[in-house]
Amino acid sequence: MSLLQAATDVRENAYAPYSRFKVGAALRTAGGAVHVGCNVENVAYPEGTCAEAGAIAAMCAAGERQIAEIWVIADSPEPVPPCGGCRQKIAEFAAQDVVVTLCTTDGKRRSLTVADLLPGVFTQSHMDRA
Ligand code: THU
């Protein structure tokens, strides 16, 4: 199954009663496994957990750490870019040249790299003098 289809399918399981904005994410790891996530909101923190964060959590829970490719889909006029927190989370587990593909349910697509998404990313090396 393609990552687009996996992200499309898991989006149906999103729990988004507050925003009514369902998001699905699917990633492939360096080892070839596919992990998916959807956004899950709650009344105290209505922004909840993003789809990308869910897919990353599933990847980590499976003992994997390296994203090779990630797709995100939502029903929006233009492909929705990941929030700031998700950009940092993706950058934690993906090389700078990994491609992130943002999609709409009506077929628009935008691909960019992790470096494009989060220029000047904070990394471990910035703490080298600590
Ligand atoms: N959301 C995601 O899951 N991923 C994104 O890239 C953008 C936003 C979710 C969080 C929240 O449940 C809803 O969309 C509105 O912010």
Query: pTM of this prediction?
Result: 0.95
How many whole angstroms separate alpha carbon 75 and alpha carbon 93? 26
Question: Mean pLDDT across the stretch 96-117?
Answer: 97
CB of 118 closer than 6 A to ligand 1? Answer: no
H or E element at residue 126 = none
Q: Counting atoms of ligand 1 from 1, which one is nearest the CA of 22? A: 14
Share of the chain above pLDDT 70, in %: 100
Is ligand 1 within 6 A of the CB of residue 70?
Answer: no
pLDDT digits (tens, 9 = 90+) for 47-102: 999 999 999 999 999 999 999 999 999 999 999 999 999 999 999 999 999 999 99
Mean pLDDT within 125-130: 95
Band of the pLDDT at 126, cuts 50, 70, 90?
very high
Question: Domain extents for the chain?
Answer: 3-121
Among 41, 52, 69, 92, the active-site one is 52
Residue type, 75: D
Longest dimension (CA), the chain: 48
CATH fold for domain 3-121: Cytidine Deaminase; domain 2 (3.40.140)
What is residue 62's predicted lDDT score, i.e. its pLDDT?
98
- Which residue type does 117 have? L
